[in-house]
Structure 1
Amino acid sequence: MSFEIDPRLSTRAVRGGSSPDPATGALLTPIYQSTTFLQEAVGRHKGFTYSRAANPSVDQLERALGEIEGSLPAVCFSTGMAAITTLFLTLLESGDHVIVSDVVYGGTVRLLQRVLNKYGIAASFVDTSDPQAAEAAIMPKTKLVFIETPANPTLKLTDVSAIALIAHKAGALLAVDNTFLTSILQPVLDQGTDISVLSTTKYIEGHNSTVGGSLALRDSTLTEKLRFVRKTLGCIQSPLESWLTVRGLKTLPLRLKAHCENAHQVAKWLEAHPVVSRVLYPGLPSFPQHELALRQHKAHGGLVSFEVKGGVDAGIDVMNRVKFCYLAENLGAAETLITHPASMTHGDVPVEQRAAAGITDGLIRLSVGLEDPQDVIADLQQAFAALPVAEQEKEAKCASR
């Protein structure tokens, strides 16, 4: 699979938010590792007073992300969960209701079910891939619809434009966690979304070097409300992590192209392997929502989820036997990472809720990196070859000859 990146996005990724320093001529904006900033007089400053509120390094990242998102300068946070927490605390109060995709990152579930519920904020986890189910879940106090598409880790899709119409008809806002694709591959603000949510830890920075999050909007009033709550909570991103994220952002379009092509190649190989019982990748014609993926995505990302025959024990065996793929939490980085969602990213989600969302105990999530995909395939092949089911398949094949 191959696709072309809009060259204008490549230019924005490289040049967005920055220009040579007028004092020194430095092409790259320096790291402003400063707590506070000199004020010319009482009430007179150069836009920065204290780094909990704003910092030039963070400001550069926010302007750069705005260029990519097609939004106002983004609002950046210390983590992706800090971004989501700030969003909920800004938009919701006691008695309010939020609709959330039934398959989302485990941290989002934990926040709603074990923290915000104590303060009277109600959440309904709904199969938002079914617009009728989403509409039926609307209540008089529904203020926000929060979807994740593709969803973590099943990659289930939600029709962004359809849900936007439902949310707006009810007077609610729509937020989309677009971490798995970014606006390069899925421009959610152009599809009716009010708030684009990213864990910049993942593809945006792309090198396993930082944690961070962002919210991007086209509404200046709400953007300023988010900045106020961020300042109050003290969860702004650090100058160093912002600088590293800007550096990663410069290569985002090129990296995404490679991630997509590599993941598609690995997914096709997995689908043809006799020990694999299920492959989930939106770019495969066999994916249940492939037609929606073709309409909504420019390409389908670097995440592949799959199951092997033999259930959870076989799946864990595979993850323990890989040598080239790293068994680690995270995704969207240069290195290929393999994850067991049921015990890692979604370990805090109740078993019944995981099962209802299709997150089986044997599901494996693979974040395909930038290496030669044949190295990833070779590693999976050696792990599969050691499975008892592989021996059974081999014996059955020999017996049929």
Structure 2
Amino acid sequence: MTDRKPFETLVRRTGWPDSVSRAVATPIQPSVVYASDSPDELDAQYAGDVAGYTYAREGHPNADVLARKIDGLEGAEGGLITGSGMAAVTAALMGLLNAGDHIIGGDQLYGRSLRLMTQDLNRFGIATSLADPTDIAAIEAAIRPETKMILVEVVSNPTLRVADMEGIARLCAERRILLAVDNTFTTPRAYRPFDHGADIVIHSVTKLLAGHSDATLGYVAARDPAHRKAIYDFAVTTGLTPSPFDCWLAERGLYTFSLRYDRAEENARQLAAHLASLTGVKRVLYPTRPDHPDHNRAMALLGARGGNMLSFELEGGRAAANAMTRAMPELAFAPTLGDIGTTLSHPASSSHRAMSPEAREANGISEGFFRISVGCEEIELLMRDFSAGVAAAEAAGEAAG
């Protein structure tokens, strides 16, 4: 007769095998729930008297491993990994702002951050204003008695304007306003907001930190432990939980972050110079170029760290834009950034499509405006691609004219 006992015990959790050696690579821990020995031990975990995990929505090992690594890069403590960059923005704003508070945002924030500011926060009684972060007088004029937070990006998306971070940090300190900095573009390789007076640092880990377009994650850290707890409590309550597998992928990507960043930055510097030499290109925006509108501030704030992002504008409109992307089929035309390969984005049809044409034009975003997230390819390959693309755009513009 068949022994049924092995089948009766099959569903029992047996734990991990003992070993005198340890894994070199971080294991993936997908468990949703964690078992404790007793109610007393569970109480001790929730009270913070002992370290442990309870339920993955409240934290898990892969998220903590990744958070501690980014903490080290940013000079932070207790950073939190979330399910996306926008989840990190949401956790910071909704965790710290109350009905009746007022927040000022940079007027060229990422498109979804702008939507959150202009269309969502007011539904919860939080007032918002947008102001030019390159103009400290404009930021100061937007402050109200109830202003609690200012949210800015060091380098704006997609026009690469450089915020007056020194002036904004000084103003926040004087007025006791929280300064939240989205450091996704610059990364701690170029700028560490906590070293310059920021209270909150936010990342879309999806981008340069993870670096391979295969993990969707965010990160948020606060200087004040009470703020950390408020952000954590909101994120856990609303389920802004990261996937263990995505955390594992991002940790793996992070090991090559410095190498990728430096290579892509050098490529971006050379590609910016190449684009500026091509007929059919109206303007090129790259922070360390002398013709950048915030060049002096960029050099003072970032030094030689121009980053991997650059933008440029074709002479033509939508027809020229279509012709250029079609002439470069091997280069990814996709609304993202930070991948190990170069990606090309057209803000008018993606990140800023919700803005009116007039509003886009006011921000310098025309139908011929493109943003490039430069990757780690051979620079000669990128130069050939863009030479062909710009030539096709120029021909399309002449045909349309």
TM-score (norm 2): 0.89
Contact 1:312 1:363 in 2 (8 A): no
Contact 2:97 2:126 in 1 (8 A): yes
Confirm or deny that 1:302 pairs with 2:327. Answer: no
Aligned with residue 108 of structure 1, among 85, 105, 113: 113
Distance 1:43 1:124 in 2: 49
Aligned with residue 224 of structure 2, among 219, 223, 226: 219
Paired position in structure 1 for 2:63: 58
Shift in Å, 1:357: 2.1
Contact 2:148 2:178 in 1 (8 A): yes
CA RMSD of aligned residues (A): 1.8
* Amino acid corresponding to residue 146 of structure 2 in structure 1: K
Distance 1:73 1:25 in 2: 26
Aligned with residue 232 of structure 1, among 226, 229, 237: 237
Task: Write out aligned runs for 1:259-270 (5 A).
Answer: 259-270=264-275
SS of residue in 2 equivalent to 1:267: helix
Distance 2:357 2:103 in 1: 22
Distance 1:121 1:106 in 2: 19
Aligned with residue 29 of structure 1, among 17, 26, 29: 26
Contact 1:65 1:73 in 2 (8 A): no
Distance 2:354 2:387 in 1: 31
Distance 1:175 1:391 in 2: 42
Shift in Å, 1:356: 2.4
* Amino acid corresponding to residue 225 of structure 2 in structure 1: S
Paired position in structure 2 for 1:134: 139
Distance 1:162 1:89 in 2: 25
Shift in Å, 1:214: 0.5
Write the deviation string for residues 276-323 of structure 1: whole angstroms up to 9, x where unpaired: 111011021111111111111141111110011123331232123212
Contact 2:106 2:151 in 1 (8 A): yes
Paired position in structure 2 for 1:4: none
Aligned pair in 2 of structure 1 residues 357, 391: CA closer, same or farther (>3 Å)? closer
Distance 1:134 1:232 in 2: 33
Aligned pair in 2 of structure 1 residues 352, 385: CA closer, same or farther (>3 Å)? closer
SS of residue in 2 equivalent to 1:210: coil
Task: Write out aligned runs for 1:80-229 (5 A).
Answer: 80-229=85-234
Paired position in structure 1 for 2:5: none
Answer with 147-156 or 116-125: which moved more. Answer: 116-125
Contact 2:183 2:202 in 1 (8 A): yes
Contact 1:77 1:235 in 2 (8 A): yes
Task: Write out aligned runs for 1:36-47 (5 A).
Answer: 36-45=33-42, 46-47=51-52
Distance 2:356 2:39 in 1: 54
Q: Which structure has the greater CA radius of gyration?
A: 2
Paired position in structure 2 for 1:8: none
Contact 2:88 2:202 in 1 (8 A): yes
Contact 2:319 2:396 in 1 (8 A): no
Contact 2:180 2:200 in 1 (8 A): yes
Shift in Å, 1:24: 4.0
Paired position in structure 1 for 2:295: 290
TM-score (norm 1): 0.89
Report the number of matched residues: 373
Aligned pair in 2 of structure 1 residues 168, 23: CA closer, same or farther (>3 Å)? farther
Distance 1:22 1:115 in 2: 51
Distance 2:373 2:397 in 1: 27
Answer with 113-122 or 201-210: which moved more. Answer: 113-122
SS of residue in 2 equivalent to 1:44: helix
Shift in Å, 1:217: 2.6
Aligned pair in 2 of structure 1 residues 390, 112: CA closer, same or farther (>3 Å)? closer
Shift in Å, 1:353: 3.0
